Amino acid sequence: MVINEQSSNPDGSLTVNAVHQYLGTNPPDVLTGDLVIGQATCGVPAGPGADRAPAVADFDGDGATDHSVFRPEGGTWFVAGATPEALNYGEPTDTPVPADYDGDAKVDIAVRRASTGTWFIHRSSDNTDTALTYGVSSDVPVPADYDGDGKADIALYRPSTGTWYVHQSTNDADVATTFGGIAGDIPVPGDYDGDTKADLAIYRPGSTWFIHRSSDNADTALGYGAAGDIPVPGDYDGDGSTDIAIFRPSVGLWSIHNSAGGDTAVTYGVGSDQPVAGDYDGDAKTDIAIFRPDAGLWWVHQSSNNADVATTYGVGTDIALPLPHAIRRVFF
Proportion of the chain above pLDDT 90, given as a percent: 82
pTM, two decimals, is: 0.85
Residue 280 CA: distances (Å) to CA of 219, 323, 328:
31, 13, 20
Closest by Cα among 151, 161, 157, 113 to 133: 113
Closest by Cα among 87, 86, 90, 85 to 75: 90
pLDDT in tens, 69-115: 999 999 999 999 998 899 999 999 999 999 999 999 999 999 999 99
Which H, E and C letters describe 228-270, residue by residue? CCEECCECCCCCCCCEEEEEECCCCEEEEECCCCCEEEEECCC
pLDDT in tens, 111-166: 999 999 999 999 999 999 999 999 999 999 999 999 999 999 999 999 999 999 99
Per-residue pLDDT averaged across 223-237, rounded? 97
pLDDT in tens, 38-77: 444 444 334 444 456 789 999 999 999 999 999 999 999 9
DSSP, res 94:
P
**Sheet architecture: strand order including 154-158:** 140-141, 154-158, 163-167, 174-178
- Looking at residue 19, what is its pLDDT? 43
- Looking at residue 181, what is its pLDDT? 93
The one-letter code for the residue type at 71 is R
- Looking at residue 42, what is its pLDDT? 42
pLDDT band at residue 326 under the 50/70/90 scheme: very high
Residue 92 CA: distances (Å) to CA of 96, 111, 131, 285:
10, 10, 18, 33
Question: Is it the case that residue 244 has pLDDT exceeding 70?
Answer: yes
The rounded distance, in Å, linking the Cα atoms of 138 and 235 is 29
281 versus 21: the higher-pLDDT residue is 281
Give me the count of residues in the chain: 332
- Looking at residue 51, what is its pLDDT? 54
Proportion of the chain above pLDDT 70, given as a percent: 84
pLDDT band at residue 29 under the 50/70/90 scheme: very low
Closest by Cα among 176, 168, 218, 167 to 193: 218
